[in-house]
Amino acid sequence: MNDIPRGTLQEQTFYEQVGGEETFRRLVRRFYEGVAEDPLLRPMYPEEDLGPAEERLALFLMQYWGGPRTYSDHRGHPRLRMRHAPFRVDRAAHDAWLRHMRDAVDELELAPELEHQLWHYLTYAAASMVNTAD
């Protein structure tokens, strides 16, 4: 029988394990530095300033990984495929997105098991956004 009283141990969320908001903001800031210079991806962001897109992605990822629910409070259900439907997302866009995200993830220098978990999700998410055959 477990001698630890129920509720004594609290498992940390992934969000907490990687350093919370600061880590996700660093990840997304670095990612959008790459996007800003990418001739394939940059046109998919109609706003002059990438700041609003950066904020949306940061809030989404924080919420997804167990942080505050700010994204849903402001934007409702993520509906990622629907929100990306107006854009042509083919294999080249998928690869470019992952290339910039890989650079951003590498700069975080997370523990290997945390990096693997994050990267697994990001590759899944990127593949699920593809909506145009090559």
pLDDT, tens digit (0-9, with 9 covering 90-100), for 2-40: 455 555 456 899 999 999 999 999 999 999 999 999 999
Q: Label each residue of 58-95 as H, E or C.
A: HHHHHHHCCCCCHHHHHHCCCCHHHHHCCCCCCHHHHH
pLDDT, tens digit (0-9, with 9 covering 90-100), for 96-107: 999 999 999 999
Question: What is the reported pTM?
Answer: 0.84
The domains located in the chain, with CATH, are 15-129 (1.10.490.10)
Confidence of residue 92 (pLDDT cuts 50, 70, 90): very high
What backbone phi and psi angles, to 5 degrees, belong to 132? Answer: -140, 130
